[in-house]
Structure 1
Amino acid sequence: MATNTVVPALLVEMEAEFSAQLRARTPIGGTCSSGMSLYRKIIRDNIGGVLRSVFPLFCRCLNEAEIRELVEVYLSRHSASQPEFHQVATELLLFMSQHYPISPHDLALLEYEWLMYAVEIDDSNVPFPQKISLPLGKAAEVDVACNPTLKMVALPFLIQEGEPCYEDGEQLNYYALYRKHNNTLYQKQLSQLDVQLLSAIHEQIISAEQMLNNAALSLADISLRSWLETNNNDEILSLKYIG
């Protein structure tokens, strides 16, 4: 019994010492083993690699010294212990949003890049698009569902050819971020009405007839039919005949 109570305590102590040595800006005591030195380098290189891969637009605003400093601050102040690539990306975003001096525009840029990455690794199956028209009297026979990878975001800047454009004042700009059936990442600027309509069907399946009825006060019947057909073609949503 004594062994069972002592060993976990020793393991906890050893793990704490290892973590402290790994996270310290400089080796504790001024030196460390060659193995620890190599592991410290690997960890920092991996975190820097995640930063550059997932947040390339943000990293373009930093020089190499600033990126290295960000990695050091993250290691010393953040307690994340999950090493998987996508978890490191999420932990970096959480850390910078909560504990790192960053402007609202830069934070919005980070969140946009993280969402693009989340869409890219989403393992949801995007259905092959069916070209469907909605003739009068047939709306009850068609289901409407959002693209399962769809993310909507409001940004304080425009995205033009994949680049942030800060010449639009403080106006919020809405975008749909999603993956098409061929795994191509895509983004489309949305109007406030687009956001309203997509939010009404997000994470559920409704009939086109129900959607026409719900939107009757804000959009003419023929306009909504056109909106559904256009966004079906763009793969933001999918239309499918029931049965």
Structure 2
Amino acid sequence: MLNTPATMLTEIELFSKAIRQQPKQKSTRRYHEFICENIVGVIENTFPLFSETQSADDLNQLANEFIYYHGATEPEFHQIATEFVQFSQKRAEITPPLLKLIEYEWVTFNVEIAMERMDKVHPSWEEIAVQPDVFTLSCNSVMQLIEVPFLVEEDTVNFLSKDEDFVVYGVYRTKENIVVSQKLRNIDVAIIQLISQTPKTTLAKAEQHIHTHLAGFDFMHWVHSFTQNQLITIQFLGDKHD
């Protein structure tokens, strides 16, 4: 492979620097505006809830600051969303609640594009209920938990009034490739974490463990509900886990 001439590298560096600095020269300014428009497009499409909190001028300013200040760690175009999160985490002007919203939407985006696919074959609940000792529990393979200071209802965000208030969402994708964001209770989070930490535990052993700590809790009903919404997966003991 031939080495890039030093003069060309210098020219590329100068051209890139000029684009970052909102150039006045017409030809260079066109490149800057094109890149800025693309950055705004990525923000609006990947972070729509956050974008709703910003004016068009605010988004343009964010894009310009991103281009000028952010030294990308992975400058490929498809990495812009991740790079924008990293940029936002260092920008003092973005408040903690808005930063959490950006991170929440980034989690949603990553769940959507994750390569893993859900198994479409599941045992019937009748089989599971009869032989809980031959089935294992695992979490949805792309599920992520995130703690946030707001409630998400359809396409709106309602920020909680107190700084110490927060809720936990389980964000995952179904076998129909639909991204779901489910608000979870403390007990839900505790059981999900238990399942994540012991992925090969059988349904019978998990039920016994839960009953030791919460005698009145209907664990089987919980499992039935969470397998129906596909946050939890049940597999035959001999099957391979992802």
Matched, 1:220 2:212: no
Matched, 1:151 2:144: yes
**Pairing partner for 1:211 from 188, 206, 217:** 206
1:83 Cα deviation (Å)?
A: 3.0
**Pairing partner for 1:183 from 170, 177, 185:** 177
TM-score of the aligned structures, taking structure 1 as reference length: 0.86
AA matched with 2:106: W
Q: Distance in 2 between matches of 1:241 and 1:156?
A: 38
Q: Contact (CA 8 Å) 1:58, 1:109: kept in 2 or not?
A: yes
After superposition, what is the alpha-carbon deviation per residue over 1:81-123, rounded to whole angstroms, capped at 9, x for unaligned?
A: 52323x1001101101113411111111111111111111112
SS in 2 for 1:174: strand
Q: Which residue of 2 aligns with 1:64?
A: 56
AA matched with 2:202: S
Q: Distance in 1 between matches of 2:12 and 2:210?
A: 58
AA matched with 1:128: K
Q: Contact (CA 8 Å) 2:138, 2:195: kept in 1 or not?
A: yes
- Comparing 74-83 with 7-16, greater Cα deviation is found at 7-16
Q: Contact (CA 8 Å) 2:147, 2:169: kept in 1 or not?
A: yes
Q: Distance in 1 between matches of 2:104 and 2:121?
A: 26
After superposition, what is the alpha-carbon deviation per residue over 1:13-40, rounded to whole angstroms, capped at 9, x for unaligned?
A: 2332122012112x2xx425x3x34322
SS in 2 for 1:181: coil
Matched, 1:238 2:233: yes
TM-score of the aligned structures, taking structure 2 as reference length: 0.86
Q: Which residue of 2 aligns with 1:229?
A: 224
Unpaired runs of 5+ in structure 2?
A: none
Q: Contact (CA 8 Å) 1:154, 1:172: kept in 2 or not?
A: yes
SS in 1 for 2:118: coil
SS in 1 for 2:212: coil
AA matched with 1:10: T
Matched, 1:194 2:191: no
AA matched with 1:73: E
**Pairing partner for 2:119 from 115, 127, 132:** 127
Aligned ranges 1:26-45 → 2 under 5 Å: 27=23, 30-31=24-25, 34=27, 36-45=28-37
Q: Which residue of 2 aligns with 1:142?
A: 135
AA matched with 1:31: Q
Percent identical among aligned pairs is: 24
1:54 Cα deviation (Å)?
A: 0.8
1:150 Cα deviation (Å)?
A: 0.6
AA matched with 1:192: N
Q: Contact (CA 8 Å) 1:129, 1:238: kept in 2 or not?
A: no
Q: 1:100 to 1:73 in 2, by over 3 A?
A: farther
Q: How many residues align?
A: 232
AA matched with 1:24: Q
1:190 Cα deviation (Å)?
A: 0.6
Q: Which residue of 1 aligns with 2:45?
A: 53
